[in-house]
Amino acid sequence: MSLETRAQGWRTLAALQQRIETKIEKALQDHHDLSVNEFCLLHHLSVPGGPSTRMQHLAEMLVLSQSATTRLVTRLENRGLVKRVLSAEDRRGIYAEATESGRELHDRAVPTHNEALEAALREAEGLPELTPLVSALETLALKVQPLSGLEAQP
Amino acid sequence: MSLETRAQGWRTLAALQQRIETKIEKALQDHHDLSVNEFCLLHHLSVPGGPSTRMQHLAEMLVLSQSATTRLVTRLENRGLVKRVLSAEDRRGIYAEATESGRELHDRAVPTHNEALEAALREAEGLPELTPLVSALETLALKVQPLSGLEAQP
DNA sequence: CTCCAAAAGTTGCACACGCATGTAGTTGCA
DNA sequence: TGCAACTACATGCGTGTGCAACTTTTGGAG
């Protein structure tokens, strides 16, 4: 397979991705006043066992810069959804954790996210050219099931 | 398969997507002073048979708002890479087409884009949790080969 | 012990984007 | 012909993001 072919597939996937993310963004914004990044941050802090995560770790998971993460946490902190906890051992480190109302908002937002995704996928399947792509995503979701979190490479 | 499982897979894919796009963005920025959107715009105007595309059509393809498309074209126009052509039939319509130097820059940028994508995919394959995902993308690129362009649904 | 490089977060700045609005041109209908 | 609704772009404004510079803290070398 040529590089060009793969690149063409990649750009098509990126466009589809963008379209679906836009739909999810609007749904989350309309119903809960949350951006996708804000939702993902709450998701990481609400779901996993360790409810307390370092700023830099959040930046890696969300694929954001440090500064964007700082302000993302600040925004949610100002809304009382997240709180900063200073680390005792390493006083440079700051942990973010979800508050009770943060977890509540997350629980309400999860169905919105999932239903918007379902709707977007169904819609995308309607376009004949995208059908194989969408069905590949379905397979993909199966395979990724046991994934715990994303780590960045150095 | 549960909605949650699919959503988890989707968020993982989105994160990987974002990571790779960031790498491509940096490569294009460093070597050719182009953002990914700018590259994609040039790509659509340089490659296909019809080198002349309406603003709104570009917005659909790039998954951007009208205003973002206006300014995207303006930026490239100021650099002499693209030119606006007023439509004769419908004088509201404006066509964008690549200039000679725009096509040249595109031709130089294509290898950068493709190599950055290859490198990012190889890197992602190194992370054990992402391997199935990446290989799914490989399959995907094959299936999408005959795709000509992306159209939005009304 | 002192000094210094590296790490974790924050902040100033520039910029690309979306939304709402404005403007020019088109279409339809009375 | 004249007016209203609509379309295609452009523009003002607010905001989220990345980069670079800065502060505080840590850990190690001399």
Count how many residues are written for chain A. 154
Measured in whole angstroms, the distance separating CA A84 from the mean position of its chain's CA atoms is 20
Q: Is B117 close to A7, i.e. CB distance below 8 A?
A: yes
Which residues in chain B show pLDDT less than 70?
Answer: 1, 48-50, 128-130, 132-133, 136-137, 139-154
Can you say whether the dihedral through the CA atoms of B37, B38, B41, B47 is positive or negative? negative
Q: With contacts defined as CB-CB under 8 Å, which chain A residues touch B43?
A: 11
For residue B142, the model assigns a pLDDT of 60
Q: What is the structure's pLDDT at B28?
A: 97
d(CA B95, CA B57): 9
Distance CA A3, CA A153 (A): 24
Q: What is the mean pLDDT of residues A3-21?
A: 88
**Residue to test with chain A: of B63, B138, B148, most A Cβ within 10 A:** B63
What is the residue whose two structure tokens read 């499982």? Answer: B5
Distance A14 CA to C12 C1' (A): 32
pLDDT at B49: 67
* Cβ contact A32:A115 at 8 Å: no
Residue holding tokens 């930046």? Answer: A59
Give chain A positions within 8 Å (CB) of B150.
12, 15-16, 129-130
pLDDT tens per residue, range A100-113? 999 999 999 999 99
Q: What is the pLDDT of residue A152?
A: 35
Residues of chain B contacting residue A150, judged by C-beta atoms under 8 Å apart? 12, 15-16, 129
The C-alpha of B78 sits at a distance from chain A's nearest C-alpha, in angstroms, of: 25
CB A52 within 7 Å, strand C: no
- The answer for B96, left when phi > 0, alpha when psi is -120 to 50, beta otherwise, is beta
CATH assignment of B13-152, among 3.40.50.1170, 3.40.50.720, 3.10.28.10, 1.10.10.10: 1.10.10.10
pLDDT reported for residue B115 = 95
Both tokens of residue A119? 């709707």
Q: What pTM was computed for the model?
A: 0.88
Q: Is the CB of A94 under 7 A from strand D?
A: no
Q: Quickly state the pLDDT bin for A142 (edges 50, 70, 90).
A: low
Q: Helix H segments across chain A?
A: 3-32, 36-46, 55-62, 66-78, 100-126, 131-143
Q: What is the pLDDT of residue A125?
A: 79
Q: Where are the domains of chain B?
A: 13-152
Which among B15, B127, B141 has CB closest to A10?
B141
pLDDT digits (tens, 9 = 90+) for A45-80: 997 666 789 999 999 999 999 999 999 999 999 999
Helices (H) and strands (E) in chain B, counts: 6, 3
* CA of B72 vs chain A CAs: smallest distance (Å): 17
Whether the Cβ atoms of residue A82 and residue A145 lie closer than 8 Å to each other: no
CA dist B1 → A120, A129, B34 (Å): 17, 24, 41
Report the residue from A43, A133, A145 with minimal CB separation from B144.
A133
Cα separation values, B148 from A1, A14, A52, A120, B48, Å = 18, 15, 46, 21, 8
**φ and ψ of A91, to 5 deg:** -75, 0
